[in-house]
Structure formats: C-alpha cells, structure tokens
Structure 1
Amino acid sequence: MDSQGGPYLNKRALCSPLGAARLCQLAMGCAVIAMVTHSAGYSGSQGVFCMAAWCFCFAMTVVVFFLDATRLYSCLPISWDNLTVTCAAFATLMYVTASVVYPLFFVRAECPYAGCDVRNFRIAVTVCSILGALAYGAEVALCRARPGQAVVGYMATVSGLLKVVQGFVACIIFGALANGSEYSRYAATIFCVVVYAFCFALTALVVVMTVCGRTKAVRCLPFDRFVVVCTLLEVLLYLSASVVWPVFCFDTKYGSPWRPSSCPQGRCPWDSKVVVAVFSFVNFGLYVADLIYSQRIRFVSSHVHTNSRM
C-alpha cells in the first residue's frame, strides 16, 4: 500500500499496455472455457489437456492481475517482475499448444452428428485460444529486456525466456517417455533419461532462484556466471543424449529405423522414441542458443521486491 496517501489500487494495472494485455487474456480465457463447457465440448486425453491448460492459465492470470491491481505482491517474498514474465511465457506455450491440439482433434470441415453449432463453437474456441496466445505473447514482448542492457529481471531476458521453453520441451519429452517408450531396455537409454531429468532440474533451479530473488551469488560465483556454467553443462549433456538416444532406438542392432506396421496408432513405442529424439535435438538447440545469449547478460542484483513493468 502507498504510505504517502496515494490510491489503494494500482491504476497502471488497467491503464497501461500491460494491463490491457492481461485484460485480453482474462477475456479470451473466460470465453474459451465458457464455450467449451457450453457446447464445444472436449474428450480424451487431448481434450483434457487443452481444458486443463486453459483453466490453469486463466486462474494464474486472475491471481497475477489481482495482486498487481491491489499491490499485494509487495507482501510476497518473490521477485514480481521475474514471476510475471515467467508465468506469461509459460502460458504462451500452453496456449499455443492447445491452439494446435484442439482443432487438430476436434475441428472438422463437415458438421458432426451433434450439428453445425458444435463445429462453429469449436472454431470459435480455436480463434479465441489463438487470440489468448497472442495476448500472453504481447505481455512477454512488453516485459522483455532489451539486448545489451544491464538487467535486474533475468527472466525477462532472452536467456531467461529460453529457460521456460527448455522446461516446457522437457515436459514433452517426459510425456513421450511415459507413453511406452521402452527406455529401460538399455543402460544407454536410461542414461539419456537421467540427462533429461538432471537438466530439467537444473533449469528449474535457476528459474526458482530467480523468481525467489536469490540471485546475489552462488558460493564463489556471481549469478550470471553460475547460469553460464549450468548452461554449458546442459549443452554437453544434451549433446551426448541427442547422439546416444537415436543410436539405441533406431539402429538395426538395437531397434528399428522404420515404424513397425503392426504398431497401434497412438500407443506405439516407436512413435514415442521419435518424439523424444526430435525434441532432444530441439532442446539441444535451445540450450546452445541460451549459452550464446547468456554471454551478453550483465545481471544486477537487487532486493526481492521490484516495481511492476509498464
């Protein structure tokens, strides 16, 4: 609260580009959830994922907007700027994924048995989901630190945002591993799983430290140098996993380079292995980009509480 007798509510939470982006997020999230529950519908694991993503992002945005509007975030032992940009980046990825998955499994050109109203509602859900993804992306763009400047909010830098993407891609890898990937057949593929888990934990540690404002120093290393050391280690580990996994999954000595014809659609171990291989290369590229961008960061330690960005 303002000790100088100012307004109790933060007008910038509404009357600013960032406030407008969050209001758009709330409007699109509310519209999507209402249309899905009213008539569009969802089913199966894909539909449950989309609905869970929309509901989680909507609830998260409500909390962020409320804390920002009331300035109650100043009571929390966190770095507010780092938390909000992390949430926005994560929500952007969730919305983009749902905007692809939902129409892929639920939207058809012809009218379903339930009638054309259901199809039209599903198209509207897709459009609102895309607009929601753009609104979250706009928040990330508004909060992103400019190249070359000394920054307090590490998560607002390209390197910090890449940390969110790396964690999201790792979750996709874990999902594929759990979907009958048969990773326990060889010690080499078990090693790859350990690499994925360790790198995910290290990335999550950096994000949590940043959000909690624990960025003054780690032992004898400044925080920015600690991040570079971690990223270099992750690059080396992902490089090894990106080589080992395809060899022990698709070489004729250990597996099959071609998809078996008898493999069931949606429950095929070979498909899961391909997903893991592809996203291993994706995450390796992300970690390399992170390592390159992190060389340009000059991080400035600050108090836990920071001012909310416009």
Structure 2
Amino acid sequence: MGCCLRRLQLLSTCVAFSLGASVGTWKGTIGNWSMFIWCFCFVVTLINLIVELCELEDHFPFSWDNFLITCNCYSALLCLSASIIYPTTYIQFLPDSRYRDRTITSTAFSCLAFVAYAMEVAWTRAQPNMITGYMATVPGLLKGLETIVACVIFVFISSPYLYLHQPALVWCVAVYSICFLLSSVALLLNLGKCDNRLPVPFPIFQVVLTLLSVLLYATALVLWPLYQFNQKFGGQPQRSSDVSCSDRLTSLVCTWNQRLAVASLTAINLLIYVTDLVFSVHLDFVSG
C-alpha cells in the first residue's frame, strides 16, 4: 500500500511540475513557490522510495518511521497550499486556451498528490504497533500549518516595496519572521527529542511561545490592513487604484492582490495559533 501511494505521489507531483513548467509558471514569485513544492515533494518521495527499496532504513541514526511520517505530513500540507494558491493566482486570469487547460490539469494533479500524501499518513497511523510521529498528531499538524502559512506570507511579501515605506508594515514583517522561528523551534525540539533538555517543562514552554505568537499576530492583523488599505495611512482602499492590477499579467500577482493575500493569510494563521493555544492548554493543563 505504501509503495503504491508513493508511486502515485511521484506521478502526480511530476505531472503537476511538468505542466506548470510548460505554461511558464516559474516566471512569477508565486508560481515559483508552487513549482518548488512539486519539485521538492517529488525529490523527497523518490529518495524515500529508493531507501526503502534498497532496505537502507537501519543505516540512519534516527527513527525512519518518524522521519517518513514527518515528510508525508509536510508534503501533504505543502501540496494543499499549492493546490489553493496556484489556481487562484493563475487560472482566473487565463483565457480559454490550452494553457488554461494545462493549468487546471496541473492543479488537479496537485490535489491528487495531497490526497495521496494524506492517505499514506492515515494508513501509517492505522498500522498496529506503529509509533506515531509528532507531525501526525494534532499539535504537530498545527505547528506545521503555522510554518507553511508563514512561508506563503513570505512569498507574497518578497517585494520590499510592499512594506519598507511604513515602519508599522516593517513591524508586521518582523512579526511573521519571529513567529515562524518560534514555531520552527518548537517543532524541531519535538522532532529532535530535545524537549526534555529545557530548564522549564516543555508544555509550559510551548504554551508561552504560542501565546506570544498570538499576541504578535494580533498586532499584525490590525496594522497590515490599516496601513495597506486605509487611505488616511497611505493605503489603497480600492483595487482599481493600483495600476499594476490593470495589466492582468498571468505570471505576476498585482500589488493590491498581494496585500489582500497577506491580510487574509495573517487572519488564517492567527486562527491557527489560537486553535493551537486552546488545544495545548486543554491537553496539557486541563485534561492532564
């Protein structure tokens, strides 16, 4: 079952990447993100398949099962993000043509890759006597989502002119970076089995980090829309006022759309952090 799913993952990511390359997806920053995801997932899955076919799992100094389920969870989340971002930034701007058909097909195979990775995670967890990796738990998935949404935000704010003109917007970028690092630290400590080396209990450490991230993201949720869309603070309240949005370039996302995407992703990630905080408090302090 696992071998069949990995072959499906290889096929779907390869087709999605190939079709994306045929329509020039790599020309835009947002398109580069999707292309990177499909290529990265294909390479990682291929390496994992070769390792298992050659029975080299025992040669690694870490638990291969935990590593594999971590890769599959991250690949599923990455393919899910590509399946959402790619069509919303390309398909709606393409005229009816063979390029549009290829883009739609590429999106369909990206969704198929997500399903294949999710199915392998579920199948692995269903195995008897299987030690579930941290990424396959609810806290692990939430932490993975937090880092991936932050990466997507970084893609949309890759142009410095979106925020360098206002100190408040620079603060928002700092918030995204700080919270990404905090989530990554918590994730790496769990995956590396180093959570017991901290001077404080890890549940308390994790709750404090998540609470700090919630407070920081709350400021970004207020400041980013205020300074990007409020005319009193130099923002552009209407999309029609942005000249870059009138060109309807298929390989680039106009500035106003990037600002709106970052505002939406900020709200989404704040919701994920709040869910993570509530779940961690209930799991470690209320239930315990």
Of 174, 179, 183, which aligns to 1:194? 174
Of 114, 118, 121, which aligns to 1:133? 114
Of 26, 40, 48, which aligns to 2:10? 26
Matched, 1:204 2:204: no
Number of aligned residue pairs = 269
Of 279, 286, 289, which aligns to 2:265? 279
Cα gap change, 1:100/1:290 in structure 2, threshold over 3 Å: closer, same or farther? Answer: closer
Percent pairwise identity: 33
- Following TM superposition, by how much is the alpha carbon of 1:286 offset from its aligned partner in structure 2, in angstroms? 0.3
Summarize the alignment of residues 45-194 of structure 1 with structure 2, pairs less than 5 Å apart.
Answer: 45=28, 47-100=31-84, 102=86, 105=90, 110-112=96-98, 123-143=104-124, 153-194=133-174
- Following TM superposition, by how much is the alpha carbon of 1:137 offset from its aligned partner in structure 2, in angstroms? 1.7
How many Å separate the matches in 1 of 2:122 and 2:161?
37
How many Å separate the matches in 2 of 1:250 and 1:120?
34
Of 229, 248, 265, which aligns to 2:208? 229
How many Å separate the matches in 2 of 1:59 and 1:130?
18
TM-align CA RMSD: 3.1
Counterpart secondary structure, 1:253: helix
More helix by share: 2
**Higher RCO (CA 8 Å, separation ≥ 6 residues):** 1
Cα gap change, 1:289/1:79 in structure 2, threshold over 3 Å: closer, same or farther? Answer: farther
Matched, 1:261 2:247: no
Contact 1:33 1:55 in 2 (8 A): yes
How many Å separate the matches in 1 of 2:194 and 2:144?
18
How many Å separate the matches in 1 of 2:109 and 2:183?
31
Unaligned ranges ≥5, structure 2: 246-251
- Following TM superposition, by how much is the alpha carbon of 1:62 offset from its aligned partner in structure 2, in angstroms? 1.3
- The structure whose Rg is larger is 1
Of 249-258 and 28-37, more deviation after overlay is shown by 28-37
How many Å separate the matches in 1 of 2:254 and 2:95?
28
Cα gap change, 1:41/1:262 in structure 2, threshold over 3 Å: closer, same or farther? Answer: closer
What is the match of residue 244 of structure 1? 223
Contact 1:79 1:212 in 2 (8 A): no
Contact 1:169 1:279 in 2 (8 A): yes
- TM-score, normalised to structure 2's length? 0.78
Unaligned ranges ≥5, structure 1: 1-15, 113-117, 146-150, 299-310
How many Å separate the matches in 2 of 1:210 and 1:27?
32
Contact 1:85 1:143 in 2 (8 A): yes
